[in-house]
Amino acid sequence: MFSSNRKNQAPSVGAAATSLIARGLTIRGDVQFSGTLHLDGVVEGSVHADTSGDGVLTISETGRVIGRIEVPHAVINGGVTGNIDVSERLELAPLARIDGDVQYQVLEMAAGAQVNGKMIHRAPATVRQLAQAAIEAAPVPAEA
């Protein structure tokens, strides 16, 4: 009835992975991830989610990024020195300290969070804008 076979199975291809940068660890260089990245340490460089559109960055109260952040979804309760570009949802917890410009579509900001920079709201892409982008990105057929 209860089987332990599932414990030994590897995650399926495409399953969201969780990565951790632990407290006390400093990475000097750019970080690119897919799935979820939980940051308790320091990144001195840019942080980018892959282009699949499902990346989530979580920065704890001990975490810090010194560089640019480009992700679909971010939950920040630590420090960021640099610009942030969040294509979907940005959550700023009470201990968040941002020194840089912030672009977002949906924003949730708790009392106590601080932003020193421009807050730039992005409207969601319309169907027409998405269709135009798809047309522009489509390969041009070769002439015979």
Of 67-71, 127-131, 140-144, the range with the highest mean pLDDT is: 67-71
Q: CA 16, CA 134: separation in Å to the nearest integer?
A: 26
Q: Please provide the average confidence, as pLDDT, over all residues in the chain.
A: 87
pLDDT average, residue stretch 90-111: 97
For the chain, give the longest Cα–Cα distance.
63
Express each pLDDT in 6-51 by its tens digit: 444 444 444 567 999 999 999 999 999 999 999 999 999 999 998 7
What's residue 128's pLDDT?
66
Question: What would you report as the CA-atom Rg of the chain, rounded to the nearest whole angstrom?
Answer: 18
Checking if the pLDDT of 61 tops 50, the result is: yes
pLDDT band at 95 (very low <50, low <70, confident <90, very high): very high
Q: What are phi and psi of 33, to 5 degrees?
A: -140, 165
Q: How far apart are CA 73 and CA 29, in angstroms?
A: 21
pTM: 0.76
User: What is the domain partition of the chain in residue ranges?
Assistant: 15-137
Q: Taking a C-beta distance cutoff of 8 angstroms, is the pair 68, 50 a contact?
A: no
